[in-house]
Chain A
Amino acid sequence: MTVALLFAMVIGLMMIGVPIAVSLGMSSVMFLLIFSDSSLASVAQTLFSAFEGHATLLAIPFFILASSFMSTGGVAERIIRFSIACVGHFRGGLAIAGVFACMMFAALSGSSPATVVAIGSIVIAAMTKAGYTKDFAAGVICNAGTLGILIPPSIVMVVYAAAVEVSVGRMFLAGVIPGILAGLMLMIAIYVMARVKNMPSGEWAGWGEIGRAFGDAFWGLMLIVIIMVGIYGIPGLTSAIFTPTEAAAVASIYAFIIASFVYRDMGPLAARDGQAKSSLLRKPQALLTAMFHRDTQRTLLDAGKLTITLMFVIANALILKHVLTDEQIPQQVANAMLSAGFGPVMFLVIVNVILLVGGQFMEPSGLLVIVAPLVFPIAMQLGIDPIHLGIIMVVNMEIGMITPPVGLNLFVTSGVAGMPMMRVVKAALPFLAVLFVFLIMITYIPWISTVLPNAVMGVQEITN
């Protein structure tokens, strides 16, 4: 009962416009002060232990930084050019290329809204120019953008791994096949719609253009290779080279070097004031000045700001998690559900519903920190693989972001496309249906999620 009060307070505070972080923290503090002997000092300690006790979460600022460096300039454009060269000549090709570009950009960034902004701002305009309706374009990008949290590296997966203590590496691998599958399903849906409605197709520009576009996008796409090879090593040659956190830090440094010295979209060598891009040979001092350049500071600040707002939510969600585990709420919920005779199927349906509703209102990582510890013990008792559960939760939140009335990605797309919210909602519906089918597949076919991590990292023993 008191727990219902706790959650009612969280939701109530959020609805009147209290920041999510404060809603979570305030409700937990109230609960602790009223119902237990815990001191405020222990709350402060829990707040600090979000950092001190969770070294896994350290990967988050680094992944954000890497993707910020990659978003500074034309990496999105280069990726889009490469996608168009590959699939632009199909019927509905530009839309398919948009999905493909979102998939690749999702692998550079760990966030869905960021993917919508980077790809959407270019592709939606290009599609309207090529003769697609703006609604169709917005619907495509809005849905494909959600892949940002499913295709690794993903911030939400890092948070899940930290919350229930599974390996980040496994979670990332588990996201690969579902991510590609979701992308393919969207592409097929677009292709069928394009055939039926006779949408425009682009020109086949030849293998030469594919090669050139790939060469141009190569340095950006290498980031994925560095992260994946770094975390898993090359099968048969090396074992893991970095921890996921280190891989993220190395990726940030790599992205900085590429953005300032290879692409020269930012920093001392960038084109500005009508001058063309400068070369490192002509300006060797740039090697040093780039580190303190205005653009570098700006990017660090942007990434820092995003880290702060996300981590402040997560840190406060961890206080709530602390309250829940102290009061043994997860065990109580588990017993209640098990004694009510819920099997795995019913349980997964309930998880789906909770996350779809919650994902509408709340930032996905904060929601995960709270919901994961609640459902995790039940899942273990029902024999559900923790990695599979993680992927289910991520996909649910993806869909929560595009479910009307208030999905986060709907807002972002409406801003990017300059369209009223209701039009975006309508435009996104057909693809939302596709993703729902995808969710059902992910939920009831664990193989899709677990086959790759089990193949690469060995079958994980489930201890309980």
Chain B
Amino acid sequence: MQTHPKTSIIDRIEETVIAALLGMMTLLTFANVVVRYAFNSNILWALELTVFMFGWLVLLGASYAVKKGSHLGVDAVINILPDGLRKIFAMVAVTVCIIFTLLLLKGAWDYWANFANLPRTEGHWFPTGFQDKFRGQGWFETNDIPHPAFLNWMAGVFNDGNAYEKLPRLVPYMVLPISMALLLFRFIQAAISVWKGDIDTIIASHEVEDEIEEMRDMRKESQQ
């Protein structure tokens, strides 16, 4: 369990994004039900858009969860270690996380790049350079989501000026490299905090840690 610093502006932004995405997912799914029964119609793109928002919510939120130390983990072993050893374990753990995120960042870039007419990186483990030749897939559209007017500039940049009917796939998949970069940033921050001794673990053992912490505080107050 970590102590939570005060809410900053960045916190507010991240929290608003999380709340807004979840709220919109719910409203959109609900609206689709209403439309089906009240107007005997169907918002064709509702499901696909909701699913993409779901992916954005979790992938973008993963870095927020690192910052708040709420990723689930097993603390049975590390809890019985002496302080010094626990710090070493925490450093190893956070290093594993950083390596994992670096690998995924390469994977995320490689997956997304061709959709945005950009070169993938070469190399099995580490990026060793960019592809010389590749076939861009900027034309690849989603199944149902209409292309919004404010993104019309994309046709010129990614599709040789041919207008998009549906939202191109490069938009929803863009979250992959972005979220992995953010995740990497947060894990590095966590590593620094562990190194400095501000936190001694990067995990939470269960989903209700905050609530139980609150209860513990209340019990202390009532005993005084």
Interface residues of chain A, those whose CB is within 8 Å of chain B, are 13-22, 25-26, 29, 33, 39-45, 47-48, 50-52, 55, 57-58, 61-62, 65, 111, 113-114, 116-117, 121, 242, 245-246, 249-250, 252-253, 296-297, 300-301, 303-313, 315, 361-363, 366, 405-406, 408, 411-412, 415-416, 418
A-B contacts, 12 listed (Cβ < 8 Å): A17-B93, A21-B72, A51-B51, A51-B54, A62-B25, A111-B207, A249-B25, A296-B23, A297-B19, A301-B18, A312-B62, A416-B212
Cβ–Cβ contact B30 & A16, under 8 A: no
- A308 and B62 form a contact (CB under 8 A): yes
Q: In the complex the two chains form, what is the Cα distance from A247 to B16 in whole Å?
A: 25
Which residues on the B side are within 8 Å of A315 (C-beta)? 58
Sort chain B's interface into a size bin. Answer: 35 or more
Q: Which residues of B contact A301 (CB under 8 A)?
A: 15, 18-19
CB contacts under 8 Å to A, within B112-148, are 112, 120, 124-125
Of A19, A312, A362, the most chain B CB neighbours within 10 A belong to A19
Q: Give Cα A41–Cα B89 distance, bound, in whole angstroms.
A: 30
**Contact string, B32-69, partner A, CB cutoff 8 A, digits 1/0?**
11000000000000010011101101110110110010
A19-B202, A111-B207, A253-B26 given as contacts; is B215 within 8 A of A415 (CB)?
A: yes
Give the complex CA separation of A57 and B18 in angstroms.
Answer: 18
The residue from B22, B71, B90, B111 contacting A309, defined by CB atoms under 8 A apart: B71
Q: Are B33 and A242 in contact (CB under 8 A)?
A: yes
- B29 A44 Cβ-Cβ under 8 A: no
* Bound Cα distance A309, B15 (Å): 14
B103 is an interface residue with CB less than 8 A from chain A: yes
Q: Is the CB of A22 within 8 A of B22?
A: no
Could you tell me the distance between the alpha carbons of A283 and B83 in the complex, rounded to whole angstroms? Answer: 55
The reply on B157 being an interface residue by CB < 8 A is no
B178 → chain A, closest Cβ, in Å? 12
A363/B72 contact (C-beta < 8 A), A61-B54, A300-B18 known: yes
- Closest B residue by C-beta to A53: B51
Taking CB as reference atom, which chain A residue is nearest B204? Answer: A309
Residues of A within 8 A of B171 (CB): none
Answer whether residue B182 sits at the interface, using C-beta atoms and an 8 A cutoff. no
User: Chain A nearest CB: distance from B171 CB in Å?
Assistant: 13
**Nearest CB of chain A from residue B166's CB, rounded to whole Å:** 15
* Least CB distance, A94 to chain B, in whole angstroms: 20
B176 within 8 A of partner (CB): yes
Contacts A62-B29, A246-B29 known; A19 to B97 CB distance under 8 Å?
yes
- A50, A304, A415 — most chain B CB neighbours (10 Å): A304
Known: A51-B58, A117-B211, A309-B207. 15 other contacts (CB 8 A): A18-B97, A19-B97, A26-B99, A43-B103, A48-B55, A61-B54, A246-B33, A250-B30, A252-B30, A304-B57, A312-B65, A313-B72, A406-B76, A415-B208, A415-B215
- Assembled-state Cα–Cα distance A17/B80 (Å): 12
Does B74 sit at the interface, judged by CB under 8 A?
A: yes
The chain A residue sitting closest to B126, CB to CB, is: A40
Cα separation A296 to B74 with both chains bound (whole Å): 31
**Measured CA separation A165–B120 after assembly (Å):** 34
Report yes or no: A408 in contact with B33, Cβ–Cβ below 8 A: no
Residues of A within 8 A of B27 (CB): 253
**Contact between A44 and B18, CB atoms less than 8 A apart:** no
9 pairs of A and B residues whose beta carbons are closest in the complex = A40-B107, A308-B61, A415-B212, A51-B55, A41-B110, A249-B29, A300-B19, A19-B71, A44-B107
**Which of the listed residues A22, A246, A362 has the most CB atoms from chain B within 10 Å of its own CB?**
A22
B188 within 8 A of A: no
Q: Which of B110, B173, B203, B219 contacts A19 (CB 8 A)?
A: B203
B54 touches A308 (CB 8 A): no
A45-B111, A253-B30 are known contacts. Are A309 and B70 too (CB-CB below 8 A)?
yes
Contact present for B50 and A58 (CB under 8 Å): yes
Taking CB as reference atom, which chain A residue is nearest B25?
Answer: A61
**Does B9 count as interface, using CB distance less than 8 angstroms?**
no
